[in-house]
Every structure is written in C-alpha cells, then in structure tokens.
C-alpha cells in the first residue's frame, strides 16, 4: 500500500498505470466531533500494490478534487456518491474504467 499525497499525483498514476478500476469509499471522519461524512478515499488496485488518496474538506468542498460538500436538514455535511462517480468519469474519460464503491467489490 502506498499513500498518494496529492490529487495531481493520483491523476498521474491513473494515466501511467491504466488500472481497470478506481475504488472509492466515503468515510466518516472519526476525529470530527460532528462525525461528518466528509472524507473521500480513492484507491487504485494495481498489480504491485494499492495506491490510496485521501481527500479532506476545505470549506464547502474537498481539498484535492474540489467535489462539493452538501448539508442535510440537520446541517451535517456529506458527499453525494453520484457526484463522485461523475467527477471521476469526466476526469479520466475512459470507457473501460470501472468506478465502484468499496463495498461493491
């Protein structure tokens, strides 16, 4: 497993490694007192190892990808799963790239 430090580095790895899939997981930040659903984990399952990029909130969007955060009726921030998938599809424009949630693999 290798932690990827930036969104640009993660994009470069997708282009270089040409993986069959990107796996994502929307996580609760366990250190947050509000228990917000704001952390996005992106994983490239490559032949030699897994590459992992964590994207955290900055204001009303995620720091690296700039995916927007939303608020429910109680004010808790969250990430729309459909927006994650759409964002990744438009970023990499590969018909054969599978984008799936961690729990579906």
The rounded percent of the chain whose pLDDT value lies above 90 is 59
Domain edges within the chain: 2-104
Measure the CA–CA gap between 14 and 35, rounded to whole angstroms.
31
- The number of CA neighbours under 13 Å toward the Cβ of 13 is 23
For the segment 32-67, what is each residue's pLDDT rounded down to a tens digit?
A: 665 566 889 999 998 889 999 999 988 899 999 999
Annotation: CATH topology of 2-104: 3.30.720
Distance between start and end Cα atoms, the chain: 18
For residue 15, is pLDDT > 50? Answer: yes
- pLDDT tens readout for residues 64-81: 999 999 988 988 888 999
SS3 66: coil
């Amino acid at each position: 497993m290798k932690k990827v430090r930036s969104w640009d580095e993660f994009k470069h790895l997708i282009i270089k490694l040409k993986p069959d899939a990107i796996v994502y997981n929307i996580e609760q930040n366990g250190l947050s007192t509000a228990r917000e659903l704001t952390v996005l984990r992106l994983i490239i399952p490559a032949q030699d190892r897994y590459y992992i990029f964590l994207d955290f909130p900055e204001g009303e969007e995620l720091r690296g990808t700039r995916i927007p955060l939303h608020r429910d009726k109680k004010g808790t921030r969250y990430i729309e799963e459909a927006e994650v998938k759409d964002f990744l599809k438009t970023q990499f424009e590969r018909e054969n790239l599978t984008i799936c949630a961690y729990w579906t693999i």
